[in-house]
Chain A
Amino acid sequence: MATLVAENLTFAYAKKSKPVLNKVSVEIKPGTLTALVGPNGAGKSTLLRILQGQNTPDKGEIKIDGENLYRSRALVALMPQRSSMNWKFPITVEKLVSLGQIKYSKSRSNNPFQIKTLLAYPNSWINKCCELEATMQRVGIASLANRRLDSLSGGQQQRALLAKTLMSPAKIFLLDEPCAALDPPAKEDFLKIVRQLADAGLSLLVSSHDWGDSLNNYDQVIVLDKSVLAVGSPDQIQDKLEAINISSINENNFCD
């Protein structure tokens, strides 16, 4: 269980360019499922990369349970966008999922598959193998373990990618548009799995273009367009957006 608090994050890709994010503050509580919605170019992916520590904000700070992000970066895992993956790579689902065990650490001693670690703690290897199997079962891809990645459907590929992300030792999971390019049934399936994971105690922040009924699956919704426009439960969000009269403007920019 871990709480992520980001305060007043400001970020620009170049010194003289306009900030992509302006004074963004978010809080991800343990065991919650949070949606991060916003139009194209709103800065959703940038925010996720900053929260994972891949980009450093120009201003603001990020803390996990009161400790600086860069000291506990391993507690945050990012599932990248579909488009950043090379789906044609020759790899099985099981191997892909096992890659998630490579931790953020310069030290090799953390890897349970190192010979030294194996000899010292033989159980660690067995535990990791069980964890692999359990994680694949958790997202419903255990039967696909030996299939090649490019032989799966879009929905199955996303679940495999989620399983890989879940294999990390992180407590907070950031999913970058996991439902993009999925058909409605696959999307519904995926959101069900994500909901179950949150109910089991994991903290998840899911970015999305979706501005539909599926937002009701979330505990908290953050509306972002360079800065945070609204935060609250799905019901509260609708009221807030109407109050500040931007709902109709942004809705036209959203694409599903």
Chain B
Amino acid sequence: MSFINNNWWLVPLIITIFSGILCPAMGTVLITHKRLLQVNLISHCVLPGLALALALGIHPSIGGVISGLLGSVIAESLTNRKSENYEAVMNTILAGMLGFGVLIIPLLGIRIDLEAVLFGDLLTANFGDLLRTIIAFLVFILLMTFGYEKVVYVGLDPEGASASGINVSLLNLALSFTTALVIVSSMSAVGVILVIALLSTPTLLGLNKAHSLRIAMMRSSFFGLCISLLGFILSLVFNLSPGPAISVICVASLLIPKLRK
């Protein structure tokens, strides 16, 4: 314990490693299922849950996951991807939930470091943050262990999967729940807004020519780990904020395929 206390960077480093692996793997599933807009929605819907949980004396992560999931369920009940209004409805709920969160913070008389929630504060991360990341990691591993085939089938052919007896709605709910967990767990590393970069950019690199979802996830996680570690090191060396540093490296890494050509 004293070793960890003397090495304050150790917990943030472990969180960086876990988030760097987990977010891109989750992102690969979501991008192949064409659910990236939902990530954006869930990440914005987390705030009111955090505020309410703090006011009620519950752990903020629990409130964040519940409100993220709730936002996703509301959106799915109001629209579906085939609807031409899909994007408009999703963005309306996204903005509305974020606005609701900002509104209730002063009304509930609580104090939240909004900057840390939205953009992360990795260097001050503690054991609680690490535990949250590990729980999200384990839930994702469980989903992939017991539902990999179903995740592949639903992502490829939702109608065929439904005809084969797979409960597509339940699987989508499980995906939304895991997404909400991953977003809340990444709060300390990159924040609930900047997590989108870590969910999507490494996936764009990892998906290229991958012959299976599993391979794509492993490649994305590798790129995500490299990006996260680089961001972490740069933020230590140059005294930068790690979340934004990781996001900027994500953008820069989009140039890799161009350089290869």
Give residues in A with beta carbon < 8 Å to B: 52-54, 77-80, 84-86, 88-92, 95-96, 99, 102-106, 146, 148, 164, 168
Contact = CB atoms under 8 A, between A and B. Distances in A.
A102 B212 contact: no
Contact of A90 (B162, B163, B164, B213): B213
Contacts of B153: 99, 102
Interface in B212-236: 212-213, 215-216
Contacts, number: 73
Given A86-B156, A90-B212, A92-B211, A104 B163 contact: yes
B155 interface: yes
Contacts of A90: 32, 207, 210-213, 215-216
Interface residues of B, number: 25
Contacts of B149: 99, 102
B165 A105 contact: yes
A85 B157 contact: yes
Contacts of A78: 159-160, 163
A210 to B, nearest CB: 22
Contacts of A88: 32
A164 B159 CA distance: 13
A52 B163 CA distance: 8
Contacts of A79: 160
- What are the 10 A-B residue pairs with the smallest beta carbon separation, nearest first? A104-B165, A80-B159, A89-B156, A90-B210, A84-B159, A102-B164, A90-B216, A78-B163, A92-B211, A85-B157
Contacts of A105: 165
Interface string B140-172: 000000000100110111111011111000000
Given A84-B159, A102-B149, A102-B153, A91 B166 contact: no
17 contacts: A52-B163, A77-B163, A80-B157, A84-B159, A86-B34, A86-B155, A90-B32, A90-B213, A90-B215, A91-B152, A91-B212, A99-B156, A102-B153, A102-B166, A103-B165, A104-B165, A105-B165
B152 A99 contact: yes
